[in-house]
Amino acid sequence: MALIVLDAGHGGENPGATYQGRREKDDTLRLALAVGSILEARGQRVYYTRTTDVYESPAQKAAEGNQAGADYFISIHRNSSPYPNQYTGVESLVYNQYGTAARMARNINSQLEKVGFANQGITERPNLAVLRRTRMPAVLVEVGFINNDADNALLDSRFDEVANAIATGILESIG
């Protein structure tokens, strides 16, 4: 049984990306809670960086995961682009392209692709605090573009399948 940190991106006074009244912080919290319920039902322990609409810095969230002695850290976000409907799909960010985090990122993306998202692959982002400061494998998953109408429709209409896809990608990676 692993201890998995689920980080709902943004929160509180930081809405994250917004589009037509939709706020990233709301989508990420809803997804993190749903993914956590699935992981707990499948025998894993889950630590949430937030369960309500509060803000903590990415560095604080990484420190929480480290202090909890977590085995894995998953940060859930929504992507955005300069123009509406410019880009589509899921992308996962990792510290580097090797090891457990990269394998987990590929598995999460692959599962989300089965739900219907375009798979934009994984990208190294060693400068992000939740990837750089965590002592455990960490993945930041961008679950579609918040300013893409098709990505939003897919997330909304197949929300449970999206949450299950993220959970399945995590579980495939931890054995």
Tokens describing residue 128 = 């992000």
- Rounded distance between C-alpha atoms, residue 109 and residue 125, angstroms: 16
What pLDDT is stored for residue 4 in this prediction? 98
Q: Which fold would CATH assign to domain 8-174?
A: Aminopeptidase (3.40.630)
Task: Give me the mean pLDDT over the 81-101 stretch.
Answer: 97
pLDDT band at 154 (very low <50, low <70, confident <90, very high): very high
> Does residue 142 have an active-site annotation?
yes
Domain boundaries, the chain: 8-174
- Rounded distance between C-alpha atoms, residue 147 and residue 137, angstroms: 29
Task: Give me the mean pLDDT over the 159-166 stretch.
Answer: 98
The answer on pLDDT for 84 being more than 80 is: yes
Q: Indicate which residue of 24, 64, 91, 142 is catalytic.
A: 142
Q: What angle do CA 165, 162, 1 make, to 5 degrees?
A: 40
Q: In this predicted model, what pLDDT tens digit does every residue of 107-143 receive, in sequence order?
A: 999 999 999 999 999 999 999 999 999 999 999 999 9
The answer on pLDDT for 91 being more than 90 is: yes
- pLDDT above 70: percentage of residues in the chain: 100
pLDDT band at 175 (very low <50, low <70, confident <90, very high): confident
